[in-house]
Amino acid sequence: MELAVIVVGAGTAGMPCAITLAEHGVQVAVLEKADNVGGALHLSAGQMSAAGSRLQRSKGIEDSPEHHLADVMRLGHGKADPAIVRLAVEEAGASIDWLEELGFPFPDDQPIIYYGHDPYTRARTYWGVELGISVLNTVQPRFEELVAEGSIDLRLGHRLTDLLVEDGRVVGVRAETTDGTVELRSEAVVLTTGGYAANRALFDRLHPGLHVLLGARETSQGEGLLAAQRIGAGFRGAEHHLSTVGGIETELGQGTSNLWEALGNTNANNRVAREIYVNPAGRRYVAEDEPSQDVQERALQAEGGLIWFVFDETAIDEDEPLVMGWSAEMLREQAAAGEGAWVADGIAELARRAGIDPAGLERTVGEWNAACAAGSDPLGRKALDHPIRTGPFYAVRSEGITVISFGGVTVDGELRVTREGGAAIPGLYAAGEVIGAGATMGDGFCSGMCVTPAISLGRLLGRRLAAQVGAAPMLAE
């Protein structure tokens, strides 16, 4: 019997979903707009988190999905969707086991407690040496095996434009290809099209006035979300948006950043700040050695997202650079050229060049130097051994950066896409970032809580749909 599911998007969630469907004997077509599979995994750090994996147990780490759920709800300030997080964390251990079976190269020391975000209470974070590419290199061979044997009908270069609806039910999709428009019909459609954190217009509409550099893969345009909204799907979670601190614009004037090329190292767990951080008024707003990334992120957001790192010549250290990806020589060159960094012999001139209020910056530097001399900072910073006194003086412009989108389509506990009132849209399902990172993380960062839920909910949906689409037919163009 031929059963039909269309999975839209061959990325982190879509590939595991399609693999699971195919392994259960379901006829599945995968539509992918790009000319390759993998989605965000090409760029992602690929960190995952899971309680109860074989690997974690073998290390004698006591953990459970309950603990993971509690940590996520705490770190996300109670804003994550507990039903979705529960589904994700209960499946996460099995996802890690699955990756292990497929040969994922787990480093010996994992899982660990990761301090790049505010930490979990247990060691449950994992990633491969090649980051997201390690996940891709593990999943893609199995996916391609199923494509090669005809169990998955992969259609690259197919961009979903619309969901087809008949009598209130999603019955297929319309897609653009280089040869024109095609319509495909199926019993169920799964949206795994990822987020919208590369879509400037959409982002700015949702977050007017906020300075955010977009750092997602260019495929993350929110097209699946928008197609679902056009047929009445609900939307939630954008209000949970939180930018990461330290964004450096890598293509000047474009509002984008590749964090692997340049990122301010503001994490006090890795590096003690030798700079002060100031807003456009030249005012400090946070203790720069504040160890909680969450506190730093919220403080930045409250300032509107645009800051400068200000420091003097003595703060430049080749071994511990402020901007990861910039050598001291690069920093000096960029500053001399005025390309996102500036240098001057005086503080007021530096401020004028960088676009900071000169009087405000002069006042702040004076206060900062006095705090260093007194050994006490009104903002509570403990590292007071870098007064800003020895010219030349430097400023590096930084904005919040986002690699993910917090908003997404509303889904119920069955991962059915729902309308605003909560009723499920028959035939339409979603997993991955299209449901919004806010659903799985709330309004904070929880290590691994995008990649792992994408894989886990993709697989879970694959199993559930395989059980449901048992009776009806066809995939027809």
Ligand X SMILES: Cc1cc2nc3c(=O)[nH]c(=O)nc-3n(C[C@H](O)[C@H](O)[C@H](O)COP(=O)(O)OP(=O)(O)OC[C@H]3O[C@@H](n4cnc5c(N)ncnc54)[C@H](O)[C@@H]3O)c2cc1C
> Which spans of this chain sit near ligand X (rule: CB under 6 A)?
8-14, 31-34, 39-41, 43-47, 159-160, 192-195, 215-217, 219-220, 223-224, 259, 403-404, 432-434, 448-451, 454
Q: How far apart are CA 33 and CA 227, in angstroms?
A: 14
Q: How far apart are CA 384 and CA 444, in angstroms?
A: 29
Contact call for residues 8 and 190 (beta carbons, < 8 A): yes
- Residue 239, phi-psi category: left (phi > 0), alpha (psi -120 to 50), beta (remainder): alpha
Please state, in angstroms and as integers, the Cα–Cα distance from residue 424 to each residue in 187, 412, 431, 461, following that order: 15, 7, 15, 15
Nearer Cβ to ligand X (347/454): 454
Nearer Cβ to ligand X (114/311): 114
- Least Å distance, CB 12 to ligand X, is 3
Nearer Cβ to ligand X (65/195): 195
Nearer Cβ to ligand X (294/313): 294
- Least Å distance, CB 433 to ligand X, is 4
Nearer Cβ to ligand X (215/282): 215
Q: What share of the chain is helix, strand, coil (3-state, %, to 5)?
A: 35, 20, 45
- Least Å distance, CB 127 to ligand X, is 7
Amino acid code (one letter) for 273: A
Residue nearest to ligand X according to CB distances in the complex: 11
Nearer Cβ to ligand X (408/427): 408
Tally Cβ neighbours within 10 Å of residue 360.
16
Nearer Cβ to ligand X (46/282): 46
Q: How far apart are CA 134 and CA 257, in angstroms?
A: 22
- Least Å distance, CB 224 to ligand X, is 5
* Rg of the chain, C-alpha, whole Å: 24
Tokens of 69: 């759920």
Nearer Cβ to ligand X (142/381): 142
Q: How far apart are CA 83 and CA 369, in angstroms?
A: 50
- Least Å distance, CB 197 to ligand X, is 7
- Least Å distance, CB 158 to ligand X, is 6
Nearer Cβ to ligand X (217/397): 217
- Least Å distance, CB 403 to ligand X, is 3
Q: How far apart are CA 362 and CA 376, in angstroms?
A: 19
Please give the full DSSP string across 362-389, using - where no structure is assigned.
HHHHHHHHHHHHHT--TT--------S-
Please give the full DSSP string across 153-189, using - where no structure is assigned.
EEEET-EEEEEEEETTEEEEEEEEETTEEEEEE-SEE
- Least Å distance, CB 105 to ligand X, is 16
Tokens of 63: 């953990």
- Least Å distance, CB 335 to ligand X, is 26
**3-class secondary-structure state, position 225:** helix
* 248: nearest Cα among 341, 361, 177: 341
- 323-324 and 263-264 beta bridge pairing: antiparallel
- Least Å distance, CB 336 to ligand X, is 29
- Least Å distance, CB 179 to ligand X, is 15
Nearer Cβ to ligand X (133/272): 133
Nearer Cβ to ligand X (310/403): 403
* 307: nearest Cα among 377, 354, 239: 354
Residue 461 contacts by C-beta under 8 Å, 6 or more apart in sequence? 17, 20, 190, 415, 429, 431
